[in-house]
Amino acid sequence: MKFFILVCLMVFQISVGAQDAIIAVGEAQQDKDKLVIDDAELTNNLTGDQKRLSAELIEIIRNDFVFYRHKFNTIDYAHKGKSSFTFPDLGLWESSAINFFITSRIENGPGSSIDASFKVWSIIKKTEIYNGKFKVSGQNLRQSAHQIADNLYKSITGKSSVFNSKIFFISDRTSEKDIEKELYLMDFDGRRVDKLTNFNSVVLSPSVSPDNSKVMFSLIASKKEVSRSKVRMIKNIDLKMLDLRTKTLSTISDKPGINSGAIFSKNPDIIYLTLSFSGNADIYEMNIKSREMKKITNHYADDVDPSITQAGSFMAFLSNRAGRAHIYTMDPSDTEKNVKRISFVGQFNATPRFSPDGREIVFTSWVDNSFDLYRVGADGNNLVRLTKDFGSNEEPSYSPDGEFIIFSSKRVSGGVATQDIYLMNREGEILGQLTQGFGRCLTPRWTNL
C-alpha cells in the first residue's frame, strides 16, 4: 500500500526541510459581555442531598459558560442580599456594569429530585428575557445542567451553544499486547465517557450523520484470501457504520485496499469516501442504500480525506498532486470539477475540515519539526497559525457553532509521550484539556447540534 495513504490514515513520518512563510499565532481582541450567575435561592424544605445537588447544578452551568470566555466575562459574584430571584436588584448590577444577570430558585421535587427555575435579566434593557423551570435529579444532573445552560445562552445570544453536543474520539486505552484503538463518545466538556466499540482492532476516522443517529468509521479487519489453493490472512481497511439508537453494525464498503475517510453529505444516504481498489486512491460519492458510486476525483496522484460544506456544494481534500500532501478544493457535483490547490504552508498537510458556515478550513501542517494547526479561508486566503510550541497538534474539527476547535495534541514530558484531546476557540486560545489518563486519544469529531 502506498506510503502516502498510510501516512494520511495512520502514522505521520516525514523529514524536515525549508518551510514556507507563515503567519504567527495571533490573538483577536473582542468586547465581552459581563455576566453574573448568582447563587441559587433555596427553599427551606430541601434535604441535605438536594442542597448538594443544587450547588452542583449551578457549578456545572457556571463552568459551561467559562468555555465561552471569549464572549463573556463571567463575574464570580454571589448576591448576598435579598432574594435575587423574587426581588432582583437591577440597580446593583447596573452600577457594577453587568450586562446580563442569571438567577435561580430551587424547590423540593419528587423523591430526591429538585425543581429548578431560572431567569435571565438584560440589565441594559432592565428586562427579563428568559424564565424556565426544570426537573433535575442526580441521575440526569449533567445532562440537565447542559440543557439549562444552553437555554440560558440562547436567550442571551439568540444562538445555540455547544453545551448539548458530544465528541467522538478514538483511544488505545484498552490495548494490551497489540495496538488496539476503539471508538468512544463523551460530553463536550470531557465528562460522561462511553465506549462504543469492542473490536480489539484499530478503528479510524469517525464521522457522524447529520441527525447524530449514526457514526461511520474505518476498521482494520483481518480476512481470508484464497490464492492458488492456498489460504492466508490479510488485513483490509473496511468502512463500517454503527446505528447509535439500535446499536446495530453494518459494513458499508469492504473493497480490496482502503475504504476510509468517509463523510456524510447533507443527505444522510449519500457519503463521500476514499477507495483504492482501482490502484491509487480516489474520492467517490456513494449511495449507502443502493451502493451506486460516482468517481469525484480521477488523477494519477492519491486523493484522500474529503471534507464538505453543509450545503454540499464545496469539497476540500488532500492530494499529493504537487509531490507532497496539500489541500485542494473542488465542486463535488462532477468529476475533477474546478479543482484548486489552496494550501502552501509546511512540507505536509493533513485533515482539512470546514467550518460550519463553509468559509474557513482548519488543518494540520508539518512546520518547525512538529505538526501544528492552521486556519485558512476556503478560497486559500487569510492564513492564520493557531498553535506553536504546544506539542504536536493534529486532527482538528470545528464545533457545531463554529466557535471552537477540538484537536489531539501529543506531548513529551520526562521521556514519556502522552496524547490527549484539547479544546481551543477559533482564534487559537487553548481552553483546556478534555482527556487525561485515558490512553492515547486521537481523531476527535463533534456531533451536529
Cell numbers 476556503: residue: 378
| 145 and 171 assigned to the same domain | no
| 371 and 288 assigned to the same domain | yes
- Residue 327, in any domain of the structure: yes
**What is d(CA 362, CA 225) in angstroms, rounded to the nearest whole number?**
40
Which of 157, 179, 205 delimits the end of a domain? 157
The pLDDT of residue 87 is: 81
Quote the pTM value: 0.90
Q: Can you name the residues that pair with 309 across neighbouring β-strands?
A: none
- Residue 28, in any domain of the structure: no
**What is d(CA 419, CA 441) in angstroms, rounded to the nearest whole number?**
6
| 120 and 142 assigned to the same domain | yes
- Which domain, by its residues, includes 355? 164-446
- Residue 38, in any domain of the structure: yes
**What is d(CA 315, CA 293) in angstroms, rounded to the nearest whole number?**
17
Which of 129, 157, 185 delimits the end of a domain? 157
- Residue 5, in any domain of the structure: no
List the pLDDT tens digit at each of the 449 positions of the chain. 443 444 444 333 333 333 334 444 544 456 799 999 999 999 989 999 999 999 999 999 999 999 999 999 998 765 554 568 888 888 888 988 999 999 999 999 998 999 999 999 999 999 999 999 999 999 999 999 999 999 999 999 999 999 999 999 999 998 876 689 999 999 999 999 999 999 999 999 999 999 999 999 999 988 766 666 676 778 899 999 999 999 999 999 999 999 999 999 999 899 999 999 998 999 999 999 999 999 999 999 999 999 999 999 999 999 999 999 999 999 999 999 999 999 999 998 999 999 999 999 999 999 988 999 999 999 999 999 999 999 999 999 999 999 999 999 999 888 889 999 999 999 999 999 999 999 999 999 999 87
Helix axes 48-66, 141-157, angle to 10 degrees: 50
Cell numbers 492458488: residue: 228
| 169 and 139 assigned to the same domain | no
Q: How many domains does the chain have?
A: 2
**What is d(CA 13, CA 205) in angstroms, rounded to the nearest whole number?**
18
The pLDDT of residue 83 is: 62
| 273 and 316 assigned to the same domain | yes
**What is d(CA 380, CA 342) in angstroms, rounded to the nearest whole number?**
4
| 168 and 316 assigned to the same domain | yes
| 182 and 145 assigned to the same domain | no
Number of other residues whose CB lies within 10 A of the CB of residue 43: 14
| 346 and 246 assigned to the same domain | yes
- Residue 88, in any domain of the structure: yes
| 334 and 196 assigned to the same domain | yes
- Edge-to-edge strand ranges of the sheet holding 303-308: 303-308, 315-319, 326-331, 337-341
| 57 and 141 assigned to the same domain | yes
| 127 and 183 assigned to the same domain | no
**What is d(CA 334, CA 338) in angstroms, rounded to the nearest whole number?**
9
CA distances from 157 to 150, 151, 154, 190 (A): 10, 10, 5, 24
Contact 145, 60 (CB under 8 A): yes
Which of 157, 179, 199 delimits the end of a domain? 157
CA distances from 201 to 372, 396, 433 (A): 28, 24, 26
CATH code at position 179 = 2.120.10.30
- Residue 7, in any domain of the structure: no
- Residue 18, in any domain of the structure: no
| 430 and 336 assigned to the same domain | yes
The pLDDT of residue 178 is: 66
